[in-house]
Chains A and B, each alone.
Chain A
Amino acid sequence: MGSLFENMQSVPLNHYIWFCAIIFTIGVVGVLTRRNAIVIFMSVELMLNAVNLLLAAFSVHHNDPSGQVFVFFIMALAAAEVAVGLSIIVMVYRNTQSIDINVLNRLKW
C-alpha cells in the first residue's frame, strides 16, 4: 500500500479539485435534467461523493485526520438521508403511481 502511494505523490492537488468539480457538476446536471426522483437521488449521492473525495484529499494535503472523520460523518448522514428519501419516494409512488417529480408540481405553490 505504501509503495502504491509513492507513485501517487506527483498528482497535484489542483487535479483533485478539478476532478471533484467535474463530478459535482455532473451531479448538478443530473438533478437539473432528469425527472425520475430516484435518479435525482443518485445524482445527489454523486455530489456527496465528490465532496467526500475532496475532503479526503485535503486531509492528506494538510496531514490532518479530521477531514477523514468528516467524510465518515458525511457517509453516516448520506445513509440516513437515503433511507428517509427513498421511503418518501415509496410513499409518493403509493399515492400517485409515479415517481415523476412533475406530478408533485403543486409543491411549488
Chain B
Amino acid sequence: MGTSVFYFVATLSVIFALMVVFAKNPIHSVLYLILTFFTFTIHYVLLNAQFLAVVNFIVYMGAIMVLFLFVLMLLNLNKDNEPNKSALLKVVGIIAGGCLVVTLIGSLKSVAIANPLVLKNPNLGLVENLGKELFGPFMLPFELSSLLLLSAMVGAVLLTKKEEKANG
C-alpha cells in the first residue's frame, strides 16, 4: 500500500477539481465540489489531522455545500444557461493557469524540501492538542472569529432582505 493511497487520492481530487471547473451545469459543479472536499478530508486523515478532517467534513461538505446547493436551486437558473465565453478567453485563461502552475512548481523546486513527511508527535492533530493551542495562545483570534461569524450572519440577513422602500 505505502504511499500509493496519497497519490491515488491526489489524482482523484485533481480530476474532481477539473470537473468542478469544466462542468457545464452548475449543479454538477457543486456535486463534484463535494467529492473534491471529501478527498481533501481523506488527505487530512492521512496527515493524522483528525480534528481538521472532522471540521472539514462538517463545515465544508455539510454547511457550505448545502448553502451553495440551496442558493443554486433558489435561483432557478435552468432557463438561462450560462452563455459561453469566447473560446479565445478560455484558451487565454488556461494558458495563464498553466504559466502559474509552472511558475509555482519551478520556484518551489529550488526550495527542495524533498525529505519525507514525518509525524514526530502522533497526537499533533488531535482535538486535545489543538484545543490547548486554540484556547491558549490563540484565544483572542478565536473570540474575534466569533465576532466575524456574527457580523457575517447579520450582513447576510441584511443583504438578502428585500428593501421595503424600493418596493413600496
A residues with CB within 8 A of B:
1-2, 4-5, 7-19, 21-30, 32-36, 38-39, 41-43, 45-46, 49, 52-53, 56-57, 59-61, 63, 65-66, 68-69, 71-73, 75-84, 86-91, 93-94, 97-100, 102
Contact = CB atoms under 8 A, between A and B. Distances in A.
A84 B75 contact: no
Contacts of A36: 26, 82
Interface residues of B, number: 95
Contacts, number: 267
A43 B20 contact: yes
A89 B6 contact: no
B7 to A, nearest CB: 8
Nearest to B90: A33
Given A30-B21, A84-B155, 8 more contacts: A4-B46, A9-B119, A12-B117, A35-B82, A72-B130, A73-B142, A98-B80, A99-B77
Interface in B53-112: 55-56, 59-60, 63-64, 67-68, 71-72, 74-75, 77, 80, 82-83, 85, 89-90, 92-94, 96-98, 100-101, 104-105, 108-109, 111-112
A83 B158 CA distance: 11
Contacts of A8: 3, 5-6, 46-47, 117
A65 B130 contact: yes
A10 B3 CA distance: 6
- Best-surrounded residue of A5, A35, A91 (most CB of chain B within 10 A): A5
Contact of B113 (A14, A23, A45, A97): A14
